[in-house]
Structure 1
Amino acid sequence: MKKNNIERADYHFTEELGGIERLDASYHKQNFSRHSHEGYTVGVIEEGAQRFFRTGNNHIAPQHSIILINADEVHSGQSATENGWSYRAMYPVPALFESISRELGLNHGAPYFPEAVVYDEHMANMLRLGFTTLNTSDNRLLRETLIYSMLIKLVARHSKARPDNRLNVAATPQMLLVKQFLDDQPQVDVSLVELANLVNLSPCYLLRQFQRHFGLPPHTYQIQLRLRLAKQLISQGSSLLDVALECGFHDQSHFSRHFKKTLGVTPGNFAKAIGNIIQ
């Protein structure tokens, strides 16, 4: 049967365990730009198939498979089939996974998932049950029990100790200084030439080296930082127009376009999901 091409994306915010963001979506034309999340991505494909970039390679996740993306790992996403794909995903923060690793006696900090696509029918069914329960039950004990159970089993079955981050380890003090500048003030309108002058490098060399070490060119990296700041401001109740301008976007339309290409939903839908409905 041909899949309906209407796109749908529902963002949820689970208050338990420090707060976990979730996405339930069906996409046809959505094309996620290369980006990263502060949290991990744990998703299960319900229909169709997704093509995405992770760890330097392209992957295809078919129906019933599990997608695993580590925190701060650059990735993308689009349909791998003519009729799109549907999936449900959650984005646990590293601190939650670190506590689970300690409880399991792994003692290696936040876990690392080496495989981008995992075929584990039992784990996939457990994730589906967990997502459905989070959408339908307000029993906090049940919800927290399921979240912990899902993440514990995921860590035990599919994680390893995190390898050395070769990108950041190899970064020169100059690259780290540029990164720190962007981290500290993502909303500032700075040019590539100005960043290059800051560390006495040519713009061309800076561009190539920054992407080599951190996986994204400086401008794209800056956009990711602005979006993370935007999420914080939205959660504090700021209006979407104020958020757009304060985070350094040209206007609200420019902000919304980048937000959806990264998170898969509009800023308004995100605001509603966390209980701050912006008029």
Structure 2
Amino acid sequence: MPEYDARLVLHTGTVTAWDCECPGLCRGKASEEHVPGTRFAFPYRGVYVHSVGTKDHVADANQMVITNADEAYRVSHPVAGGDATLTLAVDAPTLLEVTPLEYRCSRERPALNRSLLRIDPRTQLLAAQLRQRLLRESIDRLEAETQVLHLIRHALGSNASHSSRPGSRNPEKMADQVKMLLSADPWRRWTLATIAEEVSVTPVYLTDAFRRVEGIPLYRYHLQLRLAFGLTVLPHCDDLMALAIDLGFHSHSHFSASFKKTFGHTPSEFKRSVADRSHQTVDHQNFDAKLLDSAGAYVSRSVCDACHSPSDVRDLQTSNAA
């Protein structure tokens, strides 16, 4: 086994996540190491010592280890067994925005003035849930980005934005612009960075302001939008796997689980419920028609009567737009 194994589980323009394992073969302090950007490590197995200068910090599951950009550090494993961590990084502007002033090295440098921070049980739970969902590929990229930022901000003890640049956008107008952007291209694999760039705000301001205006997180709004489109396409779709992939889900099971959690029925159950009204009836007590009507408002006004694939719907939307 190599001395250090880092499995990349998420990488976008805003955040990166690794699932890291170290066998702990070096009991004494290893050679100095550096990282190009500040990283947050959440140990979930084993223990090690993270040394910066003359200070030694015991890193276990009750701590968040902070490795600052271009800051020399050394690692040792006095206890056998090695360690494993969920390690996160965010781009420099976002790091400055989510870091409370009391934890900053300076206003300009994207680094913290400490190497260790005690975390609470809620933080441990958030980290464990995020890691498992990333490994199982049961989380969308937009949601994963949001959860990474939430985890770091929760660990730092503040959900406020600490940007030196005050928000100049009207949040309601920004939210409307985001909604039009998402609806215009529901098939696109959006990231926080691309949406924020389109509406000229930072990813942190985007997530905060959108939730204040709409009452739900941006990733959840986007998920409902995609699932609502699925409601329209499903009755005419023969390939649920292809539809799931086109809608941005990792797999058919991911799509089915999200669909059932939202509407109370699996895609197959919904498809059967509308297949032949002369032989089947919808259980209106279990299947809320009002929910379907409101969800359907998000999708295209025109739907192909004989659609057998998502591409047919896209072609129809293009022709209608023309």
TM-score, length-scaled by structure 1: 0.45
What's the TM-score, normalizing by structure 2? Answer: 0.40
Give the structure with higher Rg (CA). Answer: 2
Pick the structure with more strand per residue. Answer: 1
Q: Comparing both chains, which one has the higher relative contact order based on Cα–Cα distances under 8 Å and sequence gaps of 6 or more?
A: 1
